[in-house]
Each structure stands twice: as C-alpha cells, then as structure tokens.
Amino acid sequence: MQPALIKNDFLPDFCNGQTVFNAVLLAESLALILTIVGKQITGDLFRDLLLVSLFVQWIAIFSLAVLCYLRPWLNRLTPLRAGIIAYLLLVGITLLCGELAMWVLWAVGSNPVLHPEWYRYFQLQNLALAVIIDGLALHYFLSRHQLKLSTAAEARARMQVMQYRLRPYFLFNSMNIIASLTRSSPSQAEEATEDLADLFRLMLDEKKSLIPVNKEMSVASKYIRLEKMRFDNRLTDTWKTEHFPLHARMPVLMLQLVLEIAIRQSLEKTSEPVEITISTVLDDGNMNLTVCSHQLRSPEQIEQEEQEALNNIRERLITHYENRATLSLQTNNNGQCIHLAIPVYEGTE
C-alpha cells in the first residue's frame, strides 16, 4: 500500500467538485433564508434573492478559492493553528467582499457615496453572520473529512488483519503444489485442496477469535501436512501432546502462526532435513504449547527477523488475556523453542 496516497491532512480538498457543489448549495440556502427573513431591499422578493445570492455566492466561491490555494501551506501547520487561521481568513474574506460590494455599487452609480450611512450596519451584519456561518461550515467540512479519513484508516486496518491472516506467500505456494500434484498424484492433490480449504475457512472467519484447542491442533496438523508436501521429505514432525480439558480454548490460528515462524526460520534457511517437535503440557492452570527444533535459528535472529509476526501474536495475547499469557523464545533439550503459555478457561473474545 502506498502511504503517500493516504496522507492524513487536516483540511479537506476545497478544490474538488463535490466540495464546491456542497458549498454553493449551502451558500444558496443561506441566501434564501436571509432574503425571506431579512429586511426587504428592493421591494421585489426575487430581485432581493438575486442580489443576496450574488453577494453570498461571491463570498463562498472566493473563500473556497483562497482555501484551495492555501491548503498545502495550512496543512503543514498543527490542526489547531490551521483551523484558526482558516476561520479568520473566512471571516476576513466576508468583510473584504462587503467592502468590494460597496465599491461596485458606487462604481455603477447605484450608490451616490462610497460608504452610505447603512455601511456600518451592513458590515456588522456581515461580521456576525460570518462568525456563525463560517464556523458552522468549517465544522461541517472538517467533520466530514475526518469521518472519511477514519473510515479509510479503519478499512486499511481491516485489510492488514486480513492479509496477516491470509498470508499470500503461503497461499500461492500451496496452489503451486496442488497444480503440480494434480499430474503426479491426484489423490494427494485432493487431500491438499481439502486441507487448504479448511485452513482458509478459519482464516476468513472474522467472527471467531478463540477456538477449542483440539480444533486448533487439528488445523495446525493440516498446515504441517501442506508444508511437508512443499519441502518434500525434509520436514518431520513429532507431536507430544497431553490432553487438554475439552473446553479449553485459544486464539484461532495462533499455533499455526508459531509453526509458520518455525518453518520460515528453519526449513527456509537451510537445505538440511528439519525435525520439529510440538509439545503440549498442562501445568499450573496454564496450557504450554511449545514448538522446538534443533535447526531453528537463534532467538536473537528470530526476534529480529520475525518482529512483525511476534508482535502480532503478543498483541493478540494481550487482547484476550491481558498479561496472563506469554510468548517466549527459549532453548531446551529439544533445541530452540517458541513457547506459548495460555491460561486455561480464560480469555475474552
């Protein structure tokens, strides 16, 4: 994703068609209200409306043009400053337009003097209206813009979560394996397709966040089966499992993600055969899931290269268990290990 396209600018784009249209529409509504509620000017309601519209639209368009032109500069300031300056500019523009209107009226001869006696009242009226209307309009455009930005940010975050779950590299590699197996071993291809389908069903399920541990283990073993096909006979897996309580649950696909890290940090780094041991031990109210291999690289190397994946797991543990669950990298007689400790019967969705 290109960060340049989604800059979080405080002020919206005032030059874009939709904004201009909205502003003109707002201005016209204002003109209509002013004409109906305000004092009569010429005696003819339609001529009044025309006159007021002309004046209000003039201010609106001029304001848009100035904001459009100054936006790049304003967006470099802090939001508070940009907002205040934009607001003062708008009020200033209204007063300036009031003054210009006087000059026009004087120039066409409709006003005998440049500043007739009602000039001060007229500008006072403009100032009062500008202070209120510009404030409201600015607020409207800003909140619309903020809403758009936050929706975009949300969509982006969801997208990232999806990508994280789906892991495209794994998807396309598996597809490639299946394509290859359809020729050499159709029955294996069939099995691989089924395993992949099961995995993807879970990956796509946004509602499930905690699943029974038994189910997670069965999915993890399907995942291992797919990776074994990919790495020929280089991968062997040993499971030392103790039975967990039937209803114990854990974050979905977390064991699978740990296995994936283990595979990336062993099989993808060496050409040697790799043995992975998966053990589960229940003690002290904690489920301990440990993935170990002698071919796994050192904790420092893993911590460095898999930072993103490890952080993802740690964040998810915090959401579900606060600080009662841990992920750690350790060494024991099974080699280098990635260790998950999760409290049984706990965790919020």
Give contact residues for another protein (rule: CB under 8 A): 168-169, 171-173, 175-181, 183-184, 229-232, 267-271, 305
> Are 75 and 38 spatial neighbours (Cβ–Cβ below 8 Å)?
no
Sign of the dihedral defined by the CA atoms of residues 70, 76, 77, 79, in that order: positive
Between 13 and 305, whose beta carbon lies closer to another protein?
305
Give the shortest CB-141-to-another protein separation in angstroms.
35
Rounded to whole angstroms, how far apart are CA atoms 241 and 16?
A: 62
Nearer to another protein, 229 or 325 (CB): 229
Measured from the CB atom, the residue of 110 and 184 that comes closer to another protein is 184
Token pair 């009044």 in the structure block, residue? 48
Cβ at position 264, least distance to another protein in Å: 10
Least CB distance to another protein at residue 270 (A): 5
CA distances from residue 120 to 52, 66, 79 in whole angstroms, order as listed: 18, 25, 34
CA distance 262 to 292: 8
Q: Which amino acid is at 292?
A: C
Angle at 218 between CA 196 and CA 285, to 5 degrees: 140
Closest C-alpha among 347, 2, 7 to residue 208: 347
| Rounded Cα distance, 314 and 332, in Å | 22
CA distance 90 to 85: 9
| Smallest separation, CB 305 to another protein (Å) | 8
C-beta of 99 vs 305, nearer to another protein: 305
Q: Extract the tokens encoding 218.
A: 């069965």
Determine contact, residues 59/93, Cβ cutoff 8 Å. Answer: yes
Q: Of 192 and 210, which CB lies nearer to another protein in the complex structure? A: 192
Task: Classify strands 235-241 and 274-283 as parallel, antiparallel or unpaired.
Answer: parallel
Length of the chain, in residues: 349
Is 229 or 258 the residue whose CB approaches another protein more closely?
Answer: 229
Between residues 210 and 302, which has the closer beta carbon with respect to another protein?
302
Which CB sits closer to another protein, 35 or 265?
265
d(CA 153, CA 161): 12
